[in-house]
Structure 1
């Protein structure tokens, strides 16, 4: 949905923010419906202790469950340090949008939310993809593509809930429209 200036001004008083629409150079594929029905999944509640490396800790837990995909939420906690990216316009017609350079935050960082996707590359290596929102020590809001391998848990434990699929995974494949490598649902044994 794209808001007009008048609509955006009216929405500003109600807490809504103007939505940006990204048009990519590749062949559009709408409706973009990719799904896979999986058998019952396993639910995990993971508590990461202060000082833990989030990416390393999650990979250690996931190693116990074999090759699977999953989704999860960051339910609360803090970080001492993290890196995140935001989408930027590149000026390149063949790939007009890409992640910009990393933003680095240090200090007291409080998580508001985070959506995690557990996937894998073509060789079966675990990939952790996360979009998250958080507040720095000065109260400023931040958000974007969080690099979980750079996140060090802060003074408060980080609580993560994961749902691992029984016979399905998200596997990286190229995407014609965005020219990005995306995680696609894939049946697994």
Structure 2
């Protein structure tokens, strides 16, 4: 099938080129979890700060939000049109911003890579120093906290890990929940 857009109940929906993977919503139940409030200070590298806060804790994966704060430097990607029939959209070249950047929102997932090491993923919206809106996939190891502390709330859970796996429908690697002991 060729990837395309369809109208469904007045909503524009993208139909990927691969076979539909149903159900698209996967869930797992966990017996217990732990909530963290992480406050990262001026000039802190966000990936390093989040991983330092997680070090020594038992968890399978985590999800959370950027609650408030700012950045002095960041890099993010947006989706762009490609010339590939099976993958007509992909992440474009990084957009780099410097200066006073204010977060509007952000969603963070802490998954696991093939070696069971933490894998950070984040999509966020933010304003640059001129008030222009931006948003996309943040590169957390390039994100540096600005003059306002960056406040992140994470919910850690055990016995479930988000693991990066190829997805036949989208032709991307996606984070899938799998049953796994916390480490």
Normalising by the residue count of structure 2, what TM-score does the alignment of the two structures yield?
Answer: 0.90
Structure 2 spans left out of the alignment, 5+ residues: 1-5
Is 1:57 matched with 2:49?
Answer: yes
Q: State the shift of 1:60 in Å.
A: 1.4
Cα drift, residue 21 of structure 1: 3.2
CA–CA distance in 1 between the matches of 2:55 and 2:19?
37
Paired residue for 2:3?
Answer: none
Alpha-carbon distance in 2 for matches of 1:66, 1:166: 7
Residue of structure 1 in register with 2:123 after alignment: 131
Q: Deviations over 1:45-94 (max 9, x none)?
A: 00000000000111111122145201000000000000000111112002
Tell me how far 1:131 sits from its aligned partner: 0.5
Counterparts of 1:2 and 1:49, CA distance in 2:
45
Q: Identify the residue that residue 13 of structure 1 maps to in structure 2.
A: none
Tell me whether 163-172 or 72-81 shows the greater mean CA deviation.
163-172
CA RMSD of aligned residues (A): 1.8
Matched, 1:117 2:109: yes
The structure with the largest strand share of the pair is 2
User: How many residues are paired up?
Assistant: 176
Tell me the residue number matched to 2:66: 74
In structure 1, runs of 5+ residues without a counterpart are 8-18
Matches within 5 A, 1:13-52: 21-52=13-44
| In 2, Cα distance between equivalents of 1:37 and 1:113 | 26
Aligned twin of 1:153 = 145
Given the two structures, how large is their TM-score scaled by the length of structure 1?
A: 0.87
Structure 1 residues 20 and 153, CA, compared in 2 at 3 Å: closer, same or farther? farther
When you count helix as a share of all residues, which structure comes out higher? Answer: 1
Q: 1:132 to 1:20 in 2, by over 3 A?
A: farther
Matched, 1:188 2:180: yes
Structure 1 residues 99-108 or 21-30, which shifts more? 21-30
